[in-house]
């Protein structure tokens, strides 16, 4: 009965407001912080392809603990970690949707407020909301692919997906959304919870915003270079395969001619 009353009035029978919204907000912030830091580490891991293909493959084997037990079954470690990230990702997305406008009237009010205020942080929220919406689909698809194909993570196979399966467009869109959404989200967390605020909050916010843009540009450039490196590997492998097929066809034709 008390839950029913609280559901209608937003207050308990003792007249106290529910703490659930604050708890959900904290979980949203914590999950967002985890995902943002994870994506930075993930991008640094992927960028090892810029050193060499062998170095990238060795890092994959190290993270899968294949130095302990060198067996393909160790790829399930990647599947397990990706599944955990997917769960956190879905929880975070579900909690973030609480703050989205759910009908045209709410959307209209928010847009009017944004245009009238002309507040940069409000505009950043719109970018964060839009990129989050796109990420819900692309990010989920990427994580599900990793869960089900953890044994196919290597420089060669990743390059083949980027070129032969035309996945470069998918990863470009995902990269832009992830880096913008993540950097804006971490900036807003710092502002919301007063991290790095210092004595002058206004000045600190300017520095945080500048740091946000620097980090966004850095990881976007790093991501594009990494994607280009995978594309280069995939294109070279494609050319080698095409050349090998041509040689086999030519040799086969010569063999039939001599007979």
Query: What are 72-85's pLDDT values in tens digits?
Result: 888 999 999 999 99
pLDDT of residue 250: 64
Q: What is the three-class DSSP state of 58?
A: helix
**Is position 12 within any domain?**
no
Cβ partners under 8 Å of residue 157, min gap 6: none
Domain annotation covers residue 255: no
The residues, ordered by sequence, that sit 6+ positions from 8 with a Cβ below 8 Å of its Cβ are none
pLDDT digits (tens, 9 = 90+) for 187-203: 999 988 888 887 888 88
3-state secondary structure of 6: helix
Total domains in the chain come to 1
How high is the pLDDT of residue 32?
A: 94
Question: To the nearest 5 percent, what fractions of the chain are helix, strand and coil?
Answer: 85, 0, 15
- 94-111 per-position pLDDT tens digit: 999 888 888 888 888 878
Q: What value does the mean pLDDT of the chain take?
A: 86
The tokens describing 236, both together, are 């070279």
> Which range among 61-70, 113-122, 213-222 has the greatest average pLDDT?
213-222
Q: Would residue 144 count as lying in a domain?
A: yes
- Containing domain of residue 86, as a range? 18-249
| pLDDT, position 3 | 58
- Which CATH number goes with the domain that contains 49? 1.20.1300.10
pLDDT top residue among 91 and 246? 91
Residue 258 lies in a domain: no
- C-alpha count within 13 angstroms, C-beta hemisphere, residue 219: 27
61 is in an annotated binding site: no
What is the model's pLDDT at position 7?
A: 57
| Residue 119 annotated as part of some ligand binding site | no
Q: Which three-class secondary structure state does DSSP give residue 13?
A: coil
Q: How far apart are the first and last CA of the chain?
A: 92
Q: What is the dihedral of CA 16, 19, 20, 23, to 10 degrees?
A: 180
The answer to whether the pTM exceeds 0.75 is: yes
Q: Is residue 100 part of a domain?
A: yes
Is residue 80 assigned to a domain? Answer: yes
CA distance 164 to 244: 17
- Residue 142 annotated as binding site: yes
Q: What is residue 9's predicted lDDT score, i.e. its pLDDT?
A: 57
- 3 in a domain, yes or no? no
pLDDT top residue among 227 and 199: 227
Average pLDDT over residues 218-240: 92
Token pair belonging to 80: 């397990």
Our measurement of the distance from residue 135's CA atom to the centroid of its chain's CA atoms, rounded to an integer in Å, reads: 7
Q: How confident is the model at residue 256 (pLDDT cuts 50, 70, 90)?
A: low
Residue 207 lies in a domain: yes
């Amino acid at each position: 009965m008390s839950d029913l009353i609280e559901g209608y009035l937003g207050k308990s029978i003792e007249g106290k407001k529910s703490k659930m919204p604050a708890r959900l907000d904290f979980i949203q912030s914590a999950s967002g912080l985890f995902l943002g830091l994870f994506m930075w580490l993930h991008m640094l891991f992927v960028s090892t392809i810029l050193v060499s293909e062998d170095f990238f493959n060795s890092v994959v084997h190290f993270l899968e603990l294949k130095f302990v037990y060198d067996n393909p079954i160790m790829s399930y470690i990647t599947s397990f970690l990706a599944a955990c990230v997917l769960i956190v990702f879905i929880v975070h997305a579900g909690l973030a949707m609480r703050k989205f406008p759910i009908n045209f009237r709410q959307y209209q009010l928010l847009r009017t407020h944004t245009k009238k205020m002309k507040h940069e942080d409000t505009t950043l929220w719109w970018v964060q909301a839009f990129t989050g919406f796109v990420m819900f689909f692309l990010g989920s698809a990427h994580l599900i692919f990793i869960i089900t194909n953890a044994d196919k993570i290597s420089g060669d196979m990743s390059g083949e997906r980027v070129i032969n399966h035309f996945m470069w467009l998918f990863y470009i869109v995902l990269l832009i959304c992830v880096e913008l959404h993540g950097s804006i989200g971490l900036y807003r967390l710092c502002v919301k919870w007063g991290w790095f605020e210092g004595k002058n909050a206004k000045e600190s916010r300017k520095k945080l915003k500048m740091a946000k843009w620097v980090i966004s540009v850095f990881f976007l450039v790093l991501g594009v270079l990494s994607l280009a490196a995978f594309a280069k590997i995939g294109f070279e492998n494609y050319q080698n395969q095409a050349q090998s097929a041509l040689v086999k066809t030519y040799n086969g034709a010569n063999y039939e001619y001599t007979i």
